[in-house]
Amino acid sequence: MGDPMRRNLDDLLAAWRQRHTPTDLSQLEPRVWAAIAATRAPDLAGLLGVRAALVAAMMIAGVAAGAGAAASAAPAEASPFALQSRYAPSTLLEIAP
């Protein structure tokens, strides 16, 4: 007898083959692009505002963090040959458990 799903699929494919379709497909692509443009236009306008607000918020946060760090930072030691260099391997090993 056969698998009922396969038989149903065969029936659906046979019905699909027998349907009548218009043969003029010359305007199919312009209609598809028009539909895509109509759905994307509102999304892009809202997305631009969200992106601008996000950029402004990140810039304000960066300026605030940089100003706070600059105000509280002590003069850093720049010499790699200094005796009390904060990042010397010997001082990093002493801190490790």
Could you report the average pLDDT of every consecutive run of 10 residues in the chain (97 residues)?
71 86 79 86 74 93 84 62 64 60
Q: 0.75 cut: is pTM over it?
A: no
Buried b (16+ CB within 10 A) or exposed e, 22-32: eeeeeeeeeee
User: How does pLDDT run across 46-63, given as a tens digit for each residue?
Assistant: 778 888 999 999 999 999
What's the pLDDT score for residue 5? Answer: 66
Q: Which residues contact 77 (CB under 8 A, 6 or more apart)?
A: 84, 85, 86
pLDDT given at position 58: 95
Question: For residue 85, what are the contacts with CB-CB under 8 A and spacing of at least 6?
Answer: 77, 79, 91
Which helix (H) or strand (E) segment is 52 a member of? helix 28-72
